[in-house]
């Protein structure tokens, strides 16, 4: 299958700082990218959906000013956690989908964010 990368894989930051997570589709053009949050032993919670060149669509309850998503190209989407707090500590997973009739969704390896 296609490859989706995330960087960094782990990040530790101080409370109040901002953190950027990158998601890249390495061998296909991703018309749509998704950002998920996952707590230990829990399901994936969709935070937002982004289409290249458009504003992201956020799920209910997700603060768009806190979780800034940019999908500037067909191979790159970024999630910026602004003014991070300890409760933002979590595992963040991105997913990318190509165009086409089936357009399978491929997942990145995830980023563990720890806010001290």
Residues of this chain that bind other proteins (CB under 8 A): 1, 34, 38, 41-44, 46, 49, 91, 93, 95, 100-105, 107, 109-110
* Least gap, CB of 116 to other proteins (angstroms): 22
Name the residue nearer to other proteins (CB basis): 75 or 90: 90
* Least gap, CB of 44 to other proteins (angstroms): 5
CB of 47 closer than 8 Å to CB of 35: yes
DSSP 55: P
DSSP string, 71-97: EEETTEEEEEE-S--GGG-EEEEEEEE
Pull the structure tokens for residue 112.
């563990």
Name the residue nearer to other proteins (CB basis): 38 or 70: 38
Q: How many residues appear in the chain?
A: 116
* Least gap, CB of 79 to other proteins (angstroms): 16
User: Other C-beta atoms within 10 Å of 91: how many?
Assistant: 16
Name the residue nearer to other proteins (CB basis): 8 or 16: 8
Name the residue nearer to other proteins (CB basis): 11 or 82: 11
For the chain, the first-to-last Cα distance in angstroms comes to 36
């Amino acid at each position: 299958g296609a490859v989706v990368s995330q960087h960094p894989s782990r990040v530790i930051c101080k409370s109040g700082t901002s953190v950027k997570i990158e998601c890249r589709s390495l061998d296909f053009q991703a018309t749509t990218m998704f950002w998920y949050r996952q707590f230990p032993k829990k399901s994936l919670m969709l935070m937002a959906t982004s289409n290249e060149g458009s504003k992201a669509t956020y799920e209910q309850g997700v603060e768009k000013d806190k979780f800034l998503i940019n999908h500037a190209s067909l191979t790159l989407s970024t999630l910026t956690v602004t003014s991070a707090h300890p409760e933002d500590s979590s595992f963040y997973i991105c997913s990318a989908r190509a165009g086409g009739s089936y357009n399978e969704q491929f997942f990145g390896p995830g980023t563990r964010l720890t806010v001290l």
